[in-house]
Structure 1
Amino acid sequence: MYKILVIIAGSIIVGFAYNFFLIPHHILSSGISGIAIMLGLITPINTGILNLLLNLPLLILGLLKLGKRFILYTILSVITLSVSLYVIPVKEISTEPILSSLFGGVLTGIGIGLIFRVSGSSGGFDIIAMLLAKKKDFPLGTIISAMNGIVILAAGFVFTWDAALNTIIAIYATGKVIDAIHTKHIKLTLMIITKKGEEMKKQLLSNLYRGVTILDSEGAYSGENRKILITVITRYQLTDVKSIINQIDSSAFVNITETTEVIGSFHRT
């Protein structure tokens, strides 16, 4: 239920960002939604309806490649966003296009980032980005930004080049906020020094899909034998790992460092 509420809330935030900041100034968002906004501005068809229709082929692709639960979340997001775009009135909050593109992009990034954090998607290029991130471990926001050249060019040719430049601002802001919120690509290395090495190992292996390396050690001051457990996890798993460590050995010494790159066998989900 929590994930469903987050997806609905995130999608509504994106709807407000589009109708209050981007659409009034002919600024496009990233991906399929940007194309839907453009078509909605030059045709009598509502942007929400266009967003739903354009996402259908990618939803089918996602169903085949990314699993049913992910796509069910994505369908929920696409429907919620489409309804939001249909129901929320298009209203110009700011008369300044640059401010509108910046705030619209930030709000869009917040909404999409929240959706990504609960393993959902707002549809469109997000599905393609998730497939690429799963294979190559790239930051999602960076992937999405890189795929939007066609949207920027469309804004320039269909509207004005000022609109295209403002679209770049919106897309850039969206990508940066997504990367700040969705941190699954960030890896952490944990070094756990504990007296209960065997118990710690069993709990980590049974609760995390990660390998664990164990080393023997001796306290320089106390002379007591300890086990050092080393593992690499994603940022999302840190809370669970801390809870496991505290339950097994609350006096364990734990060093946590951010990992720049992982080479070798590492499950990227």
Structure 2
Amino acid sequence: MNVEKFIEKQLGGEPVCAYVYDLGKLRNHAESLKKSLPSFCRLYYAVKANPDGRLLQTLASTVDGFEVASEGEMEKVPLNRPMLFGAPAKKDREIAAAIDRGVEAINVESLHDLNRIALTAEKKQVEVPVLIRVNLSSDVPESHHMMSGVPTQFGVDERDLPQVMEKILDTSWISVEGFHFHAMSNNLDARAHVRFVELCLEKAKIWRDRYELSVSTVDIGGGIGINYWQPDDAFDWGILAYGLHSLEAQMEGLTLVLEIGRYMTAACGSYVTEVVDVKKIMTRLLH
């Protein structure tokens, strides 16, 4: 239902306060984002942005998969849709649930995290695909909220990667599918995002060759911001899409995954509430 129809339906009834999603607008927006991307990209919806089942069903036929961060989110994803599972503090039962559900990959966030994933995989006698999430040491373009190049709970410190790789190469139950990076959050600079993608590709190819891996995926996470205060000065998706197309020669067979959350949903809904009074106090108009 769009917001105009919702308001019309509520007129004359009880006072209302609601957040109304226009599912048609959401579907069209997701299709537009996906259509703009080059063929080497896969578009995932980050379920944490809004896990409502109706939104997930609406997106299921458009996005390439869903990124989940808990067992609860796994359970809400429509059946037989691809999932990536990433969280810095996974419960043992969530690791087991992710394996049982056949997720495409589980993020490795630390050496201890890796050990727990490997132990669960061995118990189940199943080889588990993983993406190693790396907290890059430096050279990360700045954003409103940095998640790499600074101490955070997310990812393996780049300086600890050799130790993690040694463990992986010593186990039969872990298969490295690629690397995950999510260094930027609430970023509004599309050109900086393209530079970040270039950095991720460079790092992933260096590690692929150094450790003789057959990796297929570079996951750059999400991190695209919403300018709620100045909507006309928004993140320019067109610049990002153009920049990604320009990187095709650098891909070398790799697939680039984008995990888009609030940027996919934020513009597709409206807060609706009844204004019961309007008054002017000094020079300010109050509702």
Provide the TM-score with structure 1 as the length reference: 0.29
> Which structure features the higher share of helix residues?
1
> Which structure features the higher share of strand residues?
2
Give the structure with higher Rg (CA): 1
Provide the TM-score with structure 2 as the length reference: 0.28
